[in-house]
């Protein structure tokens, strides 16, 4: 079960709407945001493939300008040696 | 209490992200620090999968890489990473089952490989090279390296080739991506590599992004540009000039969509507006600039330049450029460029991979020189590099056929003899003539002039333009090919000997990124099986070569490195020789940047860094500025604040070049009516031999497709997912269509990562190259397209080692 910590940059004029849409993506938890459009998100998924798909879905939201990772933990996956690793 | 490890990890993720963005969250992990202690060791290093130089820490648990985080104090990425960066640890150590683990050999290319010992492998490599040298001469052998090799690796390879085997046949894949940028910097500014740094992202008021899809190719740097724009929406302008609308265009105030190959006219038209509206900086021009033209670099007057530029009125150029270009848009772009407090131009392959790439680079620099948009905060003409060590290793370390370490030209006797002295080898040992450049090198393989070649950490069988032509030569049984790499590739398929190498974090070495910054990665995990660092391979190979050829000078080349253990001491000794002897006193002086200094810093050191004290501060942020660059003070010739001491311009001036519009080598015509351009997608990197093996990235983009403009698609009856034949005079692909308002009308765009023979677009591209930089024109050729069927189920493809 990989966990990622992300800063998602959204259009500062459409923060509320963006956060709402981000929250609707399954596995995404929003921990906070500021008025510059920085949104702190934690994503959890059962495989890193799923997380990649979540990031794709988020990047497709038109008010999202970038999705930047700051922390990633995949220890379970490496231990299990599954999913191509 | 009772917080689970899972909850702990999630909180760590949230807190890390929040701290990087400067947000405070109402949660903490302080009460649960016990969890942190069961973790593990963290190791600083550099991401491997582009030229940005993002710094990160790798968490190792039970000898395995299990997690990573960005380093927030790093001046390159400020702690942020992209998806490729997030997942590349999956290729390390024993994390990936397909890593090459044993040397493999076959005498003939139609035979299967069999595993052999290192002893035997090194014997074979040295005997084959020695035999070739004896029979066909020193120029019948070659090294073809990579912008992904550490500086220590490139340096020792080229030392053995030039000083030991007496040939300048030393090249690397950066020839395919940044040679035109080198040519541009040297001819415009007198010195290679950008004047400024990434720090200008936070200081610029206008970004001029041309021929770069920064959002996908350099996502972490793009984040900084985007942040600057979003925080200053009304005052910071972003101009994106590109024949293709890309994710980068999303933040642009102005998108200039010109027809492929009309870039030189567009840039000259901006210069026209700057002159006509008197937007130039008279003082800057008077103090620092000169005008030049032609092969003989003839000095000309401002008046002559003005007369030349008269031909590029915005009205006329708008007609040449086509697309959405209007005269008003050109005027607006030039005005924003000239009047902003600090304008930063950014470009990459769209400009460099042109048959007039050097000229295109010159014309961007022209705009900066004319307006004085250089050397001050936010103002810079900044080429982005595609690979992590194209700058540090290949440009600076002597990895191209015409340059020796530390920006010394092979053809200059004084500089060549200097290198021979520093290496302690006899004068005259390094031949005075540059070797084959990349395209000539593989042409020489085709012609049987090169009989033995060592290809390290790159896959020319897929990455060369018009690759079928060059694969023919590489298939020749009389050409002995050594490939050192971590995975099977299209090039290992053509090898006689495959040597398994250690990956980043499995060995120690330095990468020098786009902004002149050298950063160290120290070994953190063991390489799988018998994979070894290249520096060890080269040392052992050279010792055997010395015996085979009965030539003690070859041994002399590796003597300073004898007896050093290969994981840390050996690369350290090589770095010491390179920095303390070769770079000392040169413009890329790195003598202050020892391993000890690099290990102390969260990121690394920007040259020039002639002392440890200066290096510990991070080195030089902006070159040529007195007070900011120690060499500008040292070499000052007058009281002016800027001192352009670059080695290529003895007059210490910046040169504005008269360069006319010149189209691509191949224009669309009635038979091949479309422009074909190629490029990258965010999830994959280069030939996808690495990213294709990270299952998440492969699933996200399992194969390449051809982007077709909706208007063309409608005209040709093409629907999304239909199979499309893309044919040029050289080859053919069949790929699924993506109908997309990306490429302009009359142009198609294909990603170049796919290894499948039907979707390997370099079978179609043209191998014309820039006469100055010798960089090929990957970005433009003519093709025709045809719908061959509706959607078909497709499978991703990677080269696997046959059992």
- Residue B697 touches chain A, beta carbons under 8 Å: yes
Give the C-alpha distances (Å, rounded to integers) separating B384 from B285, B296, B769.
26, 29, 20
Q: Return the sign of the alpha-carbon dihedral for residues B573, B577, B579, B584.
A: positive
Q: What is the rounded CA–CA span in Å between residue B149 and residue B509?
A: 9
- Residue B482 touches chain A, beta carbons under 8 Å: no
Which of B769, B185, B158 is closest to B438 using CA atoms? B769
pLDDT tops 80 at residue B32? no
Interface of B with A in 257-316 (CB under 8 A): none
Q: What is the rounded CA–CA span in Å between residue A71 and residue B16?
A: 7
Q: Nearest CA to CA, how far is B204 from chain A (Å)?
A: 18
Interface of B with A in 197-216 (CB under 8 A): 215
> Is residue A52 included in any domain, yes or no?
yes
Instruction: Kindly tell me the number of DSSP H helices and DSSP E strands found in chain A.
Output: 3, 4
Question: Smallest Cβ distance to A40: which of B18, B67, B79?
Answer: B18
User: How much of chain A, in percent, has pLDDT values that exceed 70?
Assistant: 88
Q: What is the rounded CA–CA span in Å between residue B597 and residue B604?
A: 8
Angle at B170 between CA B393 and CA B383, to 5 degrees: 40
DSSP-based three-state secondary structure for B451: coil
- Residue A30 touches chain B, beta carbons under 8 Å: no
pLDDT at B801: 83
CATH architecture classification, B115-177+389-521+534-562? 3-Layer(aba) Sandwich (3.40)
pLDDT at A78: 63
Give pLDDT tens digits for A47-80: 877 888 888 889 888 888 888 888 888 776 665 5
Q: SS3 sequence, B146-198?
A: CCCCCHHHHHHHHHHHHHHCCCCCEEEHHHHCCHHHHHHHHHHHCCCCCCCCH
For strands B452-456 and B141-145, give the pairing. Answer: parallel
| Poorest-pLDDT segment among B38-47, B191-200, B296-305, B456-465 | B38-47
Which residue(s) pair with A69 in the sheet?
A6, B81
pLDDT tops 70 at residue B2? no
Number of domains, chain A: 1
Class at the top of the CATH hierarchy for domain B674-789: mainly beta
- Residue B455 touches chain A, beta carbons under 8 Å: no
Neighbouring residues of B447: CB distance < 8 A, sequence distance ≥ 6: B473
B230 and A36 in contact by Cβ < 8 A?
Answer: yes
- Identify the burial level of B68 via C-beta atoms within 10 angstroms of its C-beta, where 0-12 means exposed, 13-18 middle and 19 or more buried: buried
Strands (E), B476-582: 480-485, 497-500, 509-512, 517-521
B22 neighbourhood in chain A, CB within 8 Å: 34, 38
Q: Are B456 and B534 in contact (CB under 8 A)?
A: yes
Determine which of B13, B28, B227, B693 to mutate to test the interface with A (most A C-beta atoms within 10 Å): B13
pLDDT at A75: 73
Give pLDDT tens digits for B359-414: 999 999 999 999 999 999 999 999 999 999 999 999 999 999 999 999 999 999 99
Q: Return the sign of the alpha-carbon dihedral for residues B384, B386, B392, B395.
A: negative
Domains of chain B by residue range: 5-95, 115-177+389-521+534-562, 181-384, 674-789
pLDDT at B591: 98
A40 neighbourhood in chain B, CB within 8 Å: 14, 17-18, 21, 23, 25
More confident residue, B360 or A37: B360
DSSP-based three-state secondary structure for B675: strand
Interface of B with A in 51-110 (CB under 8 A): 59, 61, 64-70, 72, 79-83, 85-87, 89-90, 95-96
Q: What is the rounded CA–CA span in Å between residue B493 and residue B800?
A: 9
Regarding the domain with residue range B5-95, which homologous superfamily does it belong to in the CATH classification?
A: ADC-like domains (2.20.25.90)
B96 and A49 in contact by Cβ < 8 A?
Answer: no
Q: Are B702 and B794 in contact (CB under 8 A)?
A: yes
pLDDT tops 90 at residue B507? yes
Nearest CA in chain A to B250: A65
B223 and A70 in contact by Cβ < 8 A?
Answer: no
Neighbouring residues of B51: CB distance < 8 A, sequence distance ≥ 6: B147, B218, B384, B385, B386, B387, B388, B390, B391, B513, B514
A32 and B66 in contact by Cβ < 8 A?
Answer: no
Give pLDDT tens digits for B403-442: 999 999 999 999 999 999 999 999 999 999 999 999 999 9
A75 and B82 in contact by Cβ < 8 A?
Answer: no
> What's chain A's length in residues?
85
Nearest CA in chain B to A52: B696
Neighbouring residues of B299: CB distance < 8 A, sequence distance ≥ 6: B290, B291, B292
> Is residue A85 included in any domain, yes or no?
no
pLDDT tops 70 at residue B38? no
Residue A21: CB atoms within 10 A of its CB come to 18
Q: Nearest CA to CA, how far is B238 from chain A (Å)?
A: 14
B87 neighbourhood in chain A, CB within 8 Å: 48, 52, 72
Average pLDDT, chain B: 94
> Is residue A15 included in any domain, yes or no?
yes
A9 and B226 in contact by Cβ < 8 A?
Answer: yes
Q: Are A67 and A52 in contact (CB under 8 A)?
A: no
Question: Smallest Cβ distance to A4: which of B59, B86, B695?
Answer: B86
B223 and A44 in contact by Cβ < 8 A?
Answer: no
User: How much of chain B, in percent, has pLDDT values that exceed 90?
Assistant: 85
Question: Smallest Cβ distance to B25: which of A1, A11, A31?
Answer: A31
> What's chain B's length in residues?
803
Which of B696, B718, B693 is closest to B707 using CA atoms? B718
pLDDT tops 60 at residue A85? no
Backbone angles phi, psi at B353, to 5 degrees: -90, 65
Q: Are A72 and A2 in contact (CB under 8 A)?
A: yes
CATH of the domain at A31: 3.30.70.920
Q: What is the rounded CA–CA span in Å between residue B390 and residue B412?
A: 23
DSSP-based three-state secondary structure for B469: helix
ipTM topping 0.85 = yes
Helix (H) or strand (E) holding B735: strand B732-739
If one looks up domain B181-384 in CATH, what number appears? 3.40.228.10
More confident residue, B144 or B86: B144
pLDDT at B221: 94
Q: Are B625 and B632 in contact (CB under 8 A)?
A: yes
Neighbouring residues of B248: CB distance < 8 A, sequence distance ≥ 6: B209, B212, B213, B214, B215, B216, B222, B240, B242
- Residue A44 touches chain B, beta carbons under 8 Å: yes
Which residue(s) pair with A29 in the sheet?
A42
Find the domain containing A39 and state its range: 3-80
A1 and B696 in contact by Cβ < 8 A?
Answer: no
Angle subtended by helix axes B179-189 and B357-371, to nearest 10? 40
């Amino acid at each position: 079960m990989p966990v990622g910590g992300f800063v998602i940059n959204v259009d500062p004029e459409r923060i509320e709407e963006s956060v709402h849409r981000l929250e609707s993506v399954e596995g995404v938890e929003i921990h906070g945001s500021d008025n510059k459009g920085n949104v702190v998100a934690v994503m959890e998924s059962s495989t890193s493939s799923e997380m990649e798909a979540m990031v794709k879905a988020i990047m497709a939201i038109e008010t999202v300008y970038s999705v930047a990772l700051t922390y990633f933990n995949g220890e379970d996956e490496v231990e299990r040696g599954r999913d191509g690793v | 209490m009772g917080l689970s490890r899972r909850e702990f990890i999630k909180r760590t993720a949230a807190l890390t992200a929040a701290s990087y963005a400067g947000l405070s969250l109402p949660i903490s992990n302080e009460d649960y620090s016990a969890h942190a202690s069961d973790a593990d060791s963290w190791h600083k290093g550099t991401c491997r999968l582009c030229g940005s130089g993002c710094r990160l820490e790798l968490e190792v648990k039970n000898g395995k890489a299990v997690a990573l985080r960005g380093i927030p104090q790093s001046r390159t990425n400020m702690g942020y990473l992209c998806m490729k960066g997030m997942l590349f640890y999956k290729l390390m150590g024993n994390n990936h089952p397909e890593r090459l683990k044993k040397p493999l050999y076959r005498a003939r290319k139609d035979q299967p490989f069999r595993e052999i010992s290192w002893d035997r492998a090194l014997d074979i490599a040295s005997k084959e090279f020695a035999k070739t040298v004896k029979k066909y001469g020193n120029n019948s052998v070659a090294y073809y390296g990579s912008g992904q090799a550490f500086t220590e690796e490139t340096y020792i390879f080229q030392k053995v080739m030039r000083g030991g085997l007496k040939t300048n046949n030393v090249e690397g894949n950066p020839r395919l991506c940044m040679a035109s940028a080198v040519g541009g910097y040297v001819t415009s500014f007198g010195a290679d590599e950008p004047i400024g740094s990434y720090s200008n992202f936070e200081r610029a008021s206008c970004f001029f992004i041309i021929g770069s899809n920064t959002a996908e190719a350099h996502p972490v740097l793009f984040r900084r540009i985007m942040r600057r724009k979003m925080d200053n929406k009304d005052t910071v302008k972003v101009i994106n000039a590109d024949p293709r609308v890309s994710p980068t265009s999303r933040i642009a105030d102005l998108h200039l969509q010109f027809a492929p190959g009309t870039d030189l006219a567009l840039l000259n038209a901006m210069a026209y507006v700057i002159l006509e509206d008197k937007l130039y900086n008279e003082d800057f021009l008077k103090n620092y600039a000169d005008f030049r033209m032609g092969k003989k670099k003839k000095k000309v007057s401002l008046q002559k330049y003005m007369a030349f530029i008269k031909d590029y009125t915005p009205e006329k150029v708008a007609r040449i450029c086509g697309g959405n270009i209007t005269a008003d848009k050109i005027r607006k772009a030039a005005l924003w460029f000239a009047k902003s407090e600090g304008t930063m131009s950014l470009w990459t392959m769209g400009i460099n991979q042109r048959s007039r790439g050097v000229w295109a680079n010159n014309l961007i620099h022209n705009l900066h020189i004319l307006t004085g948009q250089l050397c001050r905060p936010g103002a810079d003409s900044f080429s982005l590099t595609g690979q992590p060590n194209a700058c540090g290793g290949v440009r600076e370390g002597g990895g191209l056929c015409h340059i020796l370490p530390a920006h010394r030209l092979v053809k200059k006797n004084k500089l060549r003899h200097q290198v021979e002295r520093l290496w302690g080898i006899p004068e005259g040992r390094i031949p005075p003539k540059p070797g084959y450049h990349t395209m000539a090198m593989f042409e020489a393989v085709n012609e049987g002039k090169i009989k033995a070649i060592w290809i390290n950490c790159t896959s020319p069988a897929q990455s060369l333009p018009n690759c079928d032509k060059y694969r023919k030569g590489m298939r020749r049984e009389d050409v002995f090919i050594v490939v050192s790499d971590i995975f099977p590739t299209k090039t290992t398929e053509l090898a006689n000997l495959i040597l398994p190498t250690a990956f980043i974090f499995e060995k120690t070495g330095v990468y020098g990124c786009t902004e002149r910054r050298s950063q160290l990665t120290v070994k953190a995990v063991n390489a799988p099986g018998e994979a070894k660092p290249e520096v060890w391979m080269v040392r052992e190979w050279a010792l055997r070569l010395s015996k085979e050829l009965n030539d003690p000078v070859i041994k002399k080349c590796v003597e300073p490195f004898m007896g050093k253990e290969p994981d840390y001491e050996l690369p350290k000794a090589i770095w010491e020789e390179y920095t303390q002897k070769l770079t000392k006193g040169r413009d890329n002086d790195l003598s202050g940047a020892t391993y000890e200094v690099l290990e102390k810093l969260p990121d690394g050191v920007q040259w020039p860094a002639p002392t440890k004290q200066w290096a510990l501060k991070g080195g030089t942020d902006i070159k040529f500025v007195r007070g900011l660059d120690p060499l500008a003070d040292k070499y000052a010739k007058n009281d002016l604040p800027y001192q352009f001491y670059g080695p290529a311009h003895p007059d210490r001036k910046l040169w504005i070049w008269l360069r006319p519009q010149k189209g691509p080598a191949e224009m669309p015509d009635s038979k091949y009516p479309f422009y074909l351009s190629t490029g990258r997608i965010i999830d994959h990197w280069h030939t996808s031999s690495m990213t294709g093996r990270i299952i998440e990235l492969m699933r996200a983009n399992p194969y390449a497709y051809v982007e077709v403009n909706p208007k063309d698609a409608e005209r040709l009856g093409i629907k999304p997912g239909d199979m499309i034949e893309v044919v040029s005079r050289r080859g053919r692909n069949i790929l699924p269509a993506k109908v997309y308002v990306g490429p302009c009308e009359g142009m198609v765009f294909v990603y170049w990562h796919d290894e499948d023979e039907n979707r390997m677009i370099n079978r179609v591209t043209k191998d014309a190259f820039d006469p100055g930089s010798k960089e090929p024109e990957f970005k433009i050729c003519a093709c025709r397209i045809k719908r061959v069927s509706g959607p078909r189920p497709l499978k991703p493809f990677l080269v696997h080692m046959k059992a």
